[in-house]
């Protein structure tokens, strides 16, 4: 782990983790995420973010240089279903757009607790369908998300696989795939995680679920099926409380015959990919992701008839 990453994780452990552990007001979390992005992060040089309306939801179309036309990554932001926006994730996604040479589409979605489950997933479905109606082809899109956004992305992925119209690939950063909190790392990494407090996960889940069963596959895609799933990239930290969510999904998909690349990064904090410009591990992870995106958008999709 780099010196800058060590310094960052120390700061997170001393200041951010105790504060997050005590937060009870979603508005406070929203403001904190927006403030951190504004103060600490910058979009990639030469990138442009254009506002979009997708199924009535604000979104950003993020480009850098001359992206390949008709190809895009559709990324659902994290924020425990309570916070985050296309703007909080613009620095990370603009860097990915630059590295991968494709447009990155960053939608907003309805946030809890004002809009509990399944509002966010319904938004995600409508946003995807709107992109298809605008002329995008599923095989020219990559579906992705970080943290809670990964739960949305993979719940949507399960639906697209069941329809027989999967994207070219999917990836997840520090995914929260199991809202029941059953992954052993929630307990085992409680002390090691420099940012997230495992004992607050049930509270965060209930802000979103509001009594709905946490093992519903549409809420926790670890319980979903992914027939005909395209290639998947999973990146997680070895020391975060959600490590096993990624490990369990990797095992589940691999047993079903899906091509899965799992990357375990030592010591870095949850969703470290967002910290582009602060720690070198972020840029390295985004470069790996860009290579994955380039590969799955270059290889012709396999069709069920073998042609």
Does 147 qualify as catalytic in the annotation? yes
CA distance 242 to 154: 15
* In a domain? residue 185: yes
| pLDDT tens figures, 12-67 | 999 999 999 999 999 999 999 999 999 999 999 999 999 999 999 999 999 999 99
* In a domain? residue 305: no
* In a domain? residue 137: yes
* In a domain? residue 198: yes
Give the pLDDT score at 299: 59
State mean pLDDT over 219-232. Answer: 98
51 forms bridges with which residues in the sheet?
60
Residue 285 domain boundaries: 3-297
* In a domain? residue 304: no
Tell me how many domains the chain contains. Answer: 1
Q: Mean pLDDT, the chain, as a whole number?
A: 96
HEC string of 263-291 equals EEECCCCCCHHHHCCCCHHHHHHHHHHHH
CATH number, residue 42: 3.40.50.1820
- 18 CB contacts (<8 Å, ≥6 apart)? none
The answer to whether the beta carbons of residues 76 and 153 sit under 8 Å apart is yes
> Which stretches does DSSP call E strand in the chain?
47-54, 57-64, 72-76, 103-107, 141-146, 169-173, 232-237, 260-265
Share of the chain above pLDDT 70, in %: 97
pTM: 0.95
Structure tokens at 124: 């995600």
State mean pLDDT over 70-87. Answer: 98
145: pLDDT strictly greater than 90: yes
Omega prior to 118 cis, within 30 of 0: yes
* In a domain? residue 306: no
Give the pLDDT score at 300: 56
- 36 CB contacts (<8 Å, ≥6 apart)? 88
* In a domain? residue 120: yes
Going by their DSSP bridges, the two strands 103-107 and 72-76 should be labelled as: parallel
* In a domain? residue 307: no
Q: Indicate which residue of 147, 174, 185, 282 is catalytic.
A: 147
């Amino acid at each position: 782990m780099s010196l800058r990453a060590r310094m960052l994780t120390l700061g997170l452990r001393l200041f951010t983790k105790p504060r997050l552990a005590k937060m009870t007001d979603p508005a406070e979390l929203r403001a904190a995420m927006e403030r951190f992005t504004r103060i600490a992060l910058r979009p990639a040089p030469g990138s442009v973010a254009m506002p979009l309306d997708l199924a009535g939801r604000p979104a950003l179309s993020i480009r850098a240089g001359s992206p390949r036309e008709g190809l895009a990554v559709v990324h659902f932001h994290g924020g425990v279903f309570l916070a985050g926006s296309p703007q909080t994730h613009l620095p990370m996604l603009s860097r990915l757009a630059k590295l991968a040479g494709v447009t990155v589409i960053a939608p907003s979605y309805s946030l809890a607790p004002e809009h509990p489950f399944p509002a966010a997933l319904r938004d995600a479905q409508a946003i995807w369908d709107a992109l298809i109606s605008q002329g995008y082809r599923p095989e020219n899109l990559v579906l992705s998300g970080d943290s809670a956004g990964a739960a949305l992305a993979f719940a949507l992925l399960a639906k697209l696989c069941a329809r027989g119209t999967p994207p070219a690939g999917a990836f997840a950063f520090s995914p929260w795939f199991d809202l029941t909190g059953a992954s052993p790392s929630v307990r085992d990494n409680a002390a090691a995680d420099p940012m997230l407090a495992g004992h607050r996960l049930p509270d965060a889940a209930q802000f979103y679920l509001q009594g709905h069963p946490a093992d519903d596959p549409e809420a926790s895609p670890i319980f979903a099926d992914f027939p005909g799933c395209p290639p998947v990239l999973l990146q997680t930290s070895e020391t975060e409380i959600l490590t096993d969510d990624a490990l369990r999904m990797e095992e589940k998909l691999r047993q079903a015959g899906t091509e899965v690349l799992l990357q375990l990064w030592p010591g870095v904090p949850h969703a470290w990919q967002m910290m582009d410009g602060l720690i070198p591990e972020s840029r390295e992870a985004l470069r790996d992701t860009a290579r994955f995106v380039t590969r799955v958008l270059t290889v012709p999709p396999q069709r069920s008839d073998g042609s």
